[in-house]
């Protein structure tokens, strides 16, 4: 967990991995994206995807979970050192979200993020705006998702 001042453009974080099983793919799809190629193996086999695959929003949401799990470990370490935790979030938005390849049952997606832009918030002087490029790569090394997101990140000091 870092204050805005301690973050640099080009910093890279390896966030972690998630393996998608059929039950969770269908569970997400039933609630949020009930297109047949995300819900039913036989229908998916007949579709242009060729097999059951995860909703793109599931692939993105799974990154968030992996990222928050990692952040919580860092927060625990920060608290253990007796230091204050910088406030991060919420995000303002996303751009250039690309679903590059389907995520199939059993695929393991490894996510990483790189800092691409840092600027001070005009509306909230205690915060900076952190933009990161997140990519997810499958077990064969093929990119399946990428997007830019911009999030409030607390500053250590306000001039």
**According to CB under 8 A, which one of 84, 119, 124, 156 is a site residue for another protein?**
124
**According to CB under 8 A, which one of 95, 122, 141, 157 is a site residue for another protein?**
95
Least gap, CB of 15 to another protein (angstroms): 14
CA atoms within 13 A on the CB side of 151: 19
CB contact at 8 A, 76 and 68: no
Residues in 53-72 at the binding interface with another protein, rule: CB under 8 A: 55-57, 60-62, 64-65, 68, 72
CB contact at 8 A, 103 and 59: yes
Rounded Cα–Cα distance for residues 6 and 53 (Å): 39
CA–chain centroid gap for 95, Å, is 13
Where do contacts with another protein occur on this chain (CB under 8 A)? 28, 31-35, 37, 47-49, 55-57, 60-62, 64-65, 68, 72, 87, 89-99, 124, 127, 147, 152
């Amino acid at each position: 967990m870092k204050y805005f001042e301690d973050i640099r453009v080009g910093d890279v974080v390896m966030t972690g991995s998630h393996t998608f099983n059929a039950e969770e793919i269908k569970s997400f799809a039933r609630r949020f994206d009930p297109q047949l190629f995300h819900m039913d193996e036989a229908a998916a086999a007949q579709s242009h995807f060729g097999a059951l695959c995860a909703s793109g929003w599931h692939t993105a949401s799974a990154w968030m979970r992996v990222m928050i799990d990692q952040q919580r470990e860092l927060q625990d370490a920060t608290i253990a050192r007796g230091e204050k935790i910088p406030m991060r979030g919420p995000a303002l938005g996303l751009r250039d979200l690309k679903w590059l390849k389907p995520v199939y049952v059993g695929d393991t997606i490894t996510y990483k993020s790189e800092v691409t832009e840092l600027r001070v918030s005009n509306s909230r002087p205690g915060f900076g705006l952190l933009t990161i490029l997140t990519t997810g790569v499958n077990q064969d090394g093929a990119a399946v998702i990428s997007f830019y997101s911009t999030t409030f990140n607390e500053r250590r000091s306000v001039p």
